[in-house]
Chains A and B, each alone.
Chain A
Amino acid sequence: MDRNQITKWLKAPAKMANKYSLHAIYFCTGCGIIEVPPVITARWDAERFGIIPVATPRQANLFLITGYVSVKTLKAIIRTYEQMLEPKYTVGFGSCPINGGMYWDSYNTIKHLDKYIPIDGWIAGCMPRPEAIFIAVTHLWTLIEKGMANGYVRYKENYEFYRKNQEMALGKLDWPALYQINSDSKAVEYE
């Protein structure tokens, strides 16, 4: 352990523990997933950074979206994101989730993933090198330390609007709302 971090550990042990044990679920969409096997295995060894891949979203708190997001994939992404444990962090990997990338005028590809779920960080590039994942992770550490990686809090606060956007893209959603939607609770009060 780094000696000059001892004060940080004593001040906020939970935050530091979160920071150094990210359990990643790699969502295998698009071409970015090809960069992930070398990252998690011996060549680049993501465990140096405390990242370990897990099998299911219910064990994970880091979500890497590695490629273009089609309408069908978006449905799976939202369901995965909603199952993950808090505090959860999302990183969009590659230029396609950012603004559509080379699929910017496709009939079936979602541009701007942050309209549908909150994103804590982006890795730009087509494709980013595996090292870019580690740069993103170290940035994410700083954000966690400063309390700025608060996508899951923003999701809770703005859930009504996120859900509305999701319904605009996907039609009627066939799963219940994760959080109580404020406008509904108001309607109940007025009755």
Chain B
Amino acid sequence: MNESIKEQLESTFKAVVVNILEDSRIVVDVKKEQVLTVLKFLKDRNFDHLALVSCVDWIEEKEFELVYILTGYMQGEKEYTGQERLHLIVKTRISRQSPQFETVTGIFQNAEPYEREIHELFGVKFEGHKRLTPLFLERDYEIPPFRKDFDTRQYVQDVFDKIPFVENNDK
């Protein structure tokens, strides 16, 4: 199963790097232009569940890495057993200076909250996303707080530590 997916991916797409990890996980490194077609290709081959969209901040390389984790529940006509389930990890790099990417909500609808979360915590803008509104955060942050250059300690000193105690704590 692993090998057949690897062969299919490598024969269909150019410049796709497929690595098979030990525990039934396959890592697919793709270029950012290819992401939508690769995801569509995989969805047609029974990887129909998008488990997670995640983001990694590689600050030294000045890039964000978007991670799409796909699994399939039904393998064709066969009955589902947890044994043969594959996890497919699609990775891509985008620029950190102007973090923009296309939304994948057209293919996987459940990517919507994940993309909103990444938009809020990393500041990546997803073009074509219909509802990029705030999701979790209550306060306004100058730099999105999950970026590596957001200094949490400085922020805590500037905001929460400046709030005074109401009563004298020595009592």
Contacts and interface: CB of A to CB of B under 8 A. Distances in A.
A108 B159 CA distance: 10
Interface in A102-153: 104-108, 110-112, 114-115, 118
A110 B138 CA distance: 12
Contacts of A158: 166-167
Give the interface size class of chain B: 10 to 19
A165 B162 CA distance: 10
B166 A106 contact: no
Nearest to B146: A107
Contacts of B152: 105-107
Contacts of B141: 107
Interface string B46-58: 0000000000000
A158 B171 CA distance: 16
Contacts of A72: 136, 138
Interface of B: 136-139, 141, 145, 150, 152-153, 155-156, 160-167
30 contacts: A71-B138, A72-B136, A104-B156, A105-B153, A106-B156, A107-B141, A107-B145, A107-B152, A107-B155, A108-B137, A108-B138, A108-B145, A110-B160, A111-B161, A112-B160, A114-B166, A114-B167, A115-B164, A115-B166, A118-B167, A154-B167, A158-B166, A158-B167, A161-B164, A162-B166, A165-B163, A165-B166, A169-B160, A169-B163, A171-B138
